[in-house]
Structure 1
């Protein structure tokens, strides 16, 4: 039975419908060739907050910008102190039912790939393959001088050794792994340098004000061009880095389907927007398609 649509406001103020009917999404998955584009809303059920949803962190937290990070030693100290504390919680987060459902769709050959705007690595932790991390991943760090990569776990160990007495209580965690701390709590936190060249280390993520590497954008464009449909999960599509792929699909006549509780900037391009919780919806879809979810984490 088809359910009646609900209504919600788009960011522009125009009233558009959001439906509770997920049948078009099920139809798209049955047809196969689906490309998933996921956002922060998919990870909220894992305890990682959203930027823009209800209670989103942007209402109380200004993320670090690329320009501020590279231009100020004090800003880097503040970032790494907050990020080091947040990492302790962030890296313990596990994939939720939504991530497991996406991985199951992939195992059964229904997906052509996953583009994620998230930096948490939870798609991979759930067992998804062919994941393109549009904004990078917090599991890695990169040196801005020698361009060498390193493990965030190794960096966390080095930061702990350099700051043995650092143990403030954070007010809350943000989607980028940054914990809310005051300047007094940051204190004289010691930042460590690249072990190869003593250069500045940065998390391998795209900061606000930084551009996504062109080759990564092109890889995503190719995925969109070859997909039968584009399924957006948990993204407001507020920033152009994700919205451009929705617009590309719409220009090509590729169906766009969105599962997101709130209105998105891409609603006008979508065949439908399902305004239901992601975990429940994707689990129900998997059940309807007779696809079991793997609740056992994949082996490392």
Structure 2
């Protein structure tokens, strides 16, 4: 691992443009289960499958199912070493941006400013009637009532996330594509790269070095194209990288 960490630290230090692309595995060390891991949300036994709970068609008719799941899994968590390292790299001018599939908002809480959230952020709510937006912290009813409502018009609130059956935000996709296309070093971490269209963003990369940081193999094309593969936990690896850089 030491040799791989040294190589990655050197690439980060010398790269003219570095972009980070992360998935659920970035936040597991903060205590948030991933979706498709052995103990992930996707494989938990539920009366209503989670993929159905998180679909826009089902949510439109049965929003209470989402809020029941949300209150079950939304726990106090803190950014881990990976989130903090990425924020520090951006502050030091060594990282252009973070592209994330996660909806937990931990990158921003750690101090990252340039974050492209492909699937939105459940810490932000939108009114389905008037379109007003609210931070989750401003709506205590989200943790108490069956379905929270808008303080302004009393319309139904929804999480500002991309549900199954909804298209990704075009502005976010455009920003992520541009960042990846311009990157010289692309670090992909905590994702199996099987969920599209997000996984397809790697097709826009034509830089010098592709680094994969994931506990298990990703899709065959990505593993074959990678210049460096690290199987250790993401936070642990980034903490080691920061020590090398210091």
Q: Provide, for residues 115-146 of structure 1, a one-character-per-residue CA deviation record: whole Å limited to 9, x for no partner.
A: 11111111111111211211111111012222
Structure 2 residue 121 is matched with structure 1 residue 131: no
Residue aligned with 1:231, SS: strand
The alpha carbon displacement at 1:283 in A equals: 0.8
Q: Is the 8 A contact 2:183 2:207 kept in 1?
A: no
**Which residue number corresponds to residue 9 of structure 2?**
26
TM alignment of 1:133-148, pairs within 5 A: 133-148=117-132
The alpha carbon displacement at 1:28 in A equals: 2.0
TM alignment of 1:141-220, pairs within 5 A: 141-155=125-139, 157-159=140-142, 162=145, 190-220=146-176
**Which residue number corresponds to residue 73 of structure 2?**
86
Q: Provide, for residues 8-55 of structure 1, a one-character-per-residue CA deviation record: whole Å limited to 9, x for no partner.
A: xxxxxxxxxxxxx33442232012311001111011111100112232
Q: In structure 1, how many angstroms separate the alpha carbons of the residues matched to 2:226 and 2:233? A: 18
Q: Is the 8 A contact 2:123 2:135 kept in 1?
A: yes
Structure 2 residue 57 is matched with structure 1 residue 67: yes
* Distance change in 2, residues 1:2/1:108 (3 Å): closer
The alpha carbon displacement at 1:258 in A equals: 0.9
* Distance change in 2, residues 1:221/1:154 (3 Å): same
Task: Please state which structure has a larger fraction of its residues in helix.
Answer: 2
**Which residue number corresponds to residue 113 of structure 1?**
97
2:83 to 95, 99, 107: 99
Q: In structure 1, how many angstroms separate the alpha carbons of the residues matched to 2:135 and 2:241? A: 36
Where does the alignment leave 5 or more consecutive residues of structure 1 unmatched? Answer: 4-20, 163-189, 291-300
TM-score w.r.t. the length of structure 1 is: 0.73
* Distance change in 2, residues 1:78/1:161 (3 Å): closer
TM-score w.r.t. the length of structure 2 is: 0.88
Q: Provide, for residues 33-86 of structure 1, a one-character-per-residue CA deviation record: whole Å limited to 9, x for no partner.
A: 11001111011111100112232221225232112112x1xx211211231343
Q: In structure 2, how many angstroms separate the alpha carbons of the residues matched to 1:2 and 1:286? A: 13
TM alignment of 1:265-280, pairs within 5 A: 265=219, 266-280=222-236
Q: In structure 2, how many angstroms separate the alpha carbons of the residues matched to 1:86 and 1:277? A: 22
Q: CA RMSD in A?
A: 2.0
Q: Is the 8 A contact 2:184 2:207 kept in 1?
A: no
